[in-house]
Amino acid sequence: MARKLFFLIAVILMASLACNIPSFSSSPSTPASPLPPLSTLAAATDNNTAAALPASTNTPAVLHVTKPPDAAPSSGTLIYDVDSSGTAPEKRAPYGDSYNINRLERPFQQDMSYVSDLDILTARVSQDDNWFYVSIKLIGQDPNNSLGINYGVELDTNHDGFGDYIIWARPPYTSGWDTVNVSIFADKNRDTAGLSPEKSDAPLNGDGYETQIFHGGAGDADPDMAWVRMNAGADATLQFAFKKSWSGTVFMLGVLSDAGLKDVTKLDYVDRFTEEQAGSPIKDKKYYPLKALFAVDNTCQEAFGFKPTGYEPKLCPRSEPTPGSKTNSCQNPSAYSDQGSCEAAGCAWRQNGQIVVAVVYYCTYP
């Protein structure tokens, strides 16, 4: 009887405990989202999560209609510039920096260390039925210099000394023709040469080439206006091509390299800084060494599509007077103490035969 009573008490206790155990729903629950495969996570991590983001659609694709041929004409008109490599160990340019007439020979950093990839030796201008080509030969071999060098072609379409357009290229440069890093700017208020193209008007405020008319082909009405490539030949460390249908065939043309200011809205630089502010690369000049204006080189300008009189501002010096023009354009030759300034002013750089103890040159009338 006691055993039966004990068994009954045990059953009652078990039933009581069962009533206090939490109940679990039998209805199905929403399963958790599965984790992405480890390979996907690894790929996202290796690519700084770029693989998980949609591709950018901000930059429109450039759809080209025509491009320059790979084999550009090799003959054409040469524009010469000064070679500063020989005097570079002395931290100076030999000559050729004539500040007042915007002739800059400054392929040096501010500490006068030489940059051969800035130093223009020649520029050859050639053409075919559709294109002009400007082949720039540098003393150096690397347009993609770590300084980040911009190269430009200036066009003066009414040959008055005020630039009308500049084709402006920035790195990186590739061996194939491309437009992506090429821009064209226009000067619509005629102030690229300050007040006068024949002298420095500094300090003068202005906006230079203030209007961009070509954006590398992206969104441009004509995506093929101007192209650039590097190492296209022995005389083309950097080469431009631009369409005749845009530029016309009558202009004055010069080139420049720039790893300093790189600001087309400040051209001509000689109108923004006084020579004292800019400094000089010529050791016997009063304002040596370079100061505010450094790491820039440019050439004189050559005439295309018309016969120059010899009096066009910035025109390359002529060895002989142009027939039918005035006898010469040389004014006050005694003001020039170096060959570059003398010849750029239309004067003659000659040996002084009256001095026999040394070879001495002087500037005189042609």
Q: How far is 256 from 290, CA to CA, in rounded Å?
A: 18
* Identity of residue 106: R
Q: How confident is the model at residue 50 (pLDDT cuts 50, 70, 90)?
A: very low
311 & 321 share domain: no
Span 36-61, mean pLDDT?
A: 40
321 & 310 share domain: no
Amino acid 318: pLDDT: 80
pLDDT digits (tens, 9 = 90+) for 231-249: 999 999 999 999 999 999 9
CB atoms within 10 A of CB 311: 12
Q: How far is 351 from 283, CA to CA, in rounded Å?
A: 21
267 & 341 share domain: no
Tokens linked to 268: 């001509």
Scan for tokens 């430009």, then name that residue: 152
363 & 328 share domain: yes
Amino acid 35: pLDDT: 35
Amino acid 322: pLDDT: 41
The answer to whether the beta carbons of residues 157 and 165 sit under 8 Å apart is yes
Q: How far is 248 from 239, CA to CA, in rounded Å?
A: 19
282 & 324 share domain: no
Residue 171: inside a domain: yes
Element (H, E) at 8: helix 2-20
302 & 340 share domain: no
Query: Which positions ≥6 away from 151 have C-beta within 8 Å?
Result: 136, 143, 169, 228, 238, 240, 255, 256, 257, 258
Span 131-146, mean pLDDT?
A: 98
Tokens linked to 198: 């024949």
Q: How confident is the model at residue 352 (pLDDT cuts 50, 70, 90)?
A: low
Amino acid 348: pLDDT: 72
Show the domain range for 344. Answer: 317-366
Residue 35: inside a domain: no
Q: How far is 229 from 236, CA to CA, in rounded Å?
A: 9
**Whether the predicted pLDDT of 79 surpasses 70:** yes
The answer to whether the beta carbons of residues 272 and 202 sit under 8 Å apart is yes
Tally of domains in the chain:
2
Between 195-199, 211-215, 285-289, the lowest mean confidence (pLDDT) is in 195-199
Tokens linked to 146: 């770590």
Amino acid 31: pLDDT: 41
Element (H, E) at 122: strand 120-127
**How do 236-243 and 226-233 pair as beta strands?**
antiparallel
Nearest to 240 by CA among 305, 150, 161, 148: 150
Scan for tokens 């051209």, then name that residue: 267
**Whether the predicted pLDDT of 335 surpasses 80:** no
Largest CA distance in the chain: 154
Q: How far is 128 from 82, CA to CA, in rounded Å?
A: 28
299 & 163 share domain: yes
Residue 311: inside a domain: yes
Q: How far is 94 from 240, CA to CA, in rounded Å?
A: 28
Residue 72: inside a domain: no
Between 2-16, 67-81, 250-264, 333-347, the lowest mean confidence (pLDDT) is in 2-16
166 & 258 share domain: yes
252 & 295 share domain: yes
Query: Which positions ≥6 away from 34 have C-beta within 8 Å?
Result: none
Query: DSSP letters along 198-257, please?
Result: TS---S----SS-EEEEETTTT-SSTTSEEEEEEEETTEEEEEEEEHHHH-S-EEEEEEE
214 & 281 share domain: yes
Instruction: Provide the Cα torsion 19, 20, 26, 30; round to 10°.
Output: 170
Average pLDDT, the chain: 83
Scan for tokens 């004409």, then name that residue: 73
User: What are the residue ranges of helices labelled H in 23-153?
Assistant: 38-46
Residue 307: inside a domain: yes
Nearest to 163 by CA among 244, 268, 298, 305: 268
Name the DSSP class of 9. H
Angle, CA 307 vertex, CA 214 and CA 100 arms, to 5°: 70
The answer to whether the beta carbons of residues 317 and 344 sit under 8 Å apart is yes
Name the percent of the chain lying above pLDDT 70. 71
Nearest to 156 by CA among 299, 271, 274, 318: 299
Amino acid 76: pLDDT: 95
Tokens linked to 205: 């405020």
pLDDT digits (tens, 9 = 90+) for 100-110: 999 999 999 99
pLDDT digits (tens, 9 = 90+) for 163-209: 999 999 999 999 999 999 999 999 999 999 999 998 999 999 999 99
Which of 315, 331, 353 is where one domain is finished?
A: 315
